[in-house]
Each structure stands twice: as C-alpha cells, then as structure tokens.
Structure 1
C-alpha cells in the first residue's frame, strides 16, 4: 500500500483506491482523478494535486478534474477523512510539459478563468474546461 497512513495510530484493512489520468499532459490540459474509500466513518474524500490545489467532496468517493498552469512533475495524493480516520495514498504522478513547439501563448489557445486564476489552454480543450465550471476569458479580479 504505497503512501498509506492512518493518523489515529490504528490501521485499517481497507485502502484508498483511485487513479489519475492522463499522466502526461501539456499546461492547461485537463487531468481526471478518482478516489474511493468505502469506510463507514468516511466523511470526506480529497485529491491533493501537488500544485497547492486540493479538491474535496463529502462522501466516500468522488471524481475531480484539474488543469496545471505550470510545467513540472506533480505527485497526486488521495485522502479520506472521518471522525476516527485520516488515510492518504499516492494515486499517481502527472508530468506537465509546456506546449508543443509552435503552440505559443495566444496561438491556437484561449484564456479561461480556472479556479480564480487566468490560464491559457489549447482551444481544443475549451469544452472540457467549460464543462467543469471554468469560464472563457480572464478572471474578473485579475
């Protein structure tokens, strides 16, 4: 069980299951993460994307999407929280590259407001961003 911890000092026979995909993307492209921890005391599950962003939801399973704004290698962690539990597991690693050669900012790219910050994404991924709540154009408070 890679990366499994229990904060209460007790261990559980269950472990977090989940995944992150794709594991290689360009800046602004969408990654999907899933997490499941079917334990009766689970109150909330979270995905820690490795860039300072944490998505969470009530319950014992969830699916989230995320886009990275900077190139790098990010370790994605799933976390389950409850009254007597705190369990974490590495779900995977995502490698983010700058765009393809010739895919410069402003060329075949669009600005979107993603979680309160403006990022440029390939125009081919705009529909995916709009589907998970991003808005086209710069964020209003930037």
Structure 2
C-alpha cells in the first residue's frame, strides 16, 4: 500500500474514534458550556438553557481557539515524511504480529459481522502508541 493511502485510512480511524491530543481542554470546554447552559436555565428557564448554551459555546470556542488540535490534524499536517513512514511501519508491524489465534478470532468476527471494529481497534491502538512513544503526546 502507498504511504498516503495508509495515512488517509489511519486519519479516518482516528477521527472516528474521536482521538484528541488534549483531552483536558475538551473537558474544560464542555464543563464551561454546561455551566453556562445551567446558569441560563436557572435564570430564564428553557429559553435560558438555549441562550446559556449558545453563549457558553461561543465564548469557549473563542477562548480555546488554537490551544489544541485533534490527532488527525497532527498526522495530516505536522508529521515529517520520516515520521509518516514510521507510523506506517508501526501499523504494518502491528498487523504482521497477528497470531493464528487472532486470525481464528477474526474469522469468527467476520462471520458475525464484527471484523471492522476489531481491525479499527488494532489500527487505533497502533496510532495511539506511535503518538505517545514517537511524538511524546499524552492521550487518554
């Protein structure tokens, strides 16, 4: 497989799994929006819930803009060609280390319709491991 096609697939998998480089900023943004919506709801009822949620969302987005990015944007925009090759190699290594027992389990999953989820988990785990070990990210 070409390096670009593998990276595109990994990026899709990372996006589907919602992998974020900084979970803390996501959680604090969610808490801020939730608090604003709650305060609005207490003050104005259902309309305040809407207004507080919208105002909290706008202010949180503005204050957090550029402070964190998803792993998919890091893969597609920031990795050097060598790092991209290392990522592809680590994915290939992970897939090459599948044992006979794993293949039997995969066969059972294929017949039951769960193979895509199993393969996605292998790829996402490899991406997370690469991001932590090679890029120094702390992922949840």
TM-score by length of 1: 0.27
Greater relative contact order (Cα < 8 A, sep 6+): 2
More helix by share: 2
Larger Rg: 2
TM-score by length of 2: 0.28
More strand by share: 1
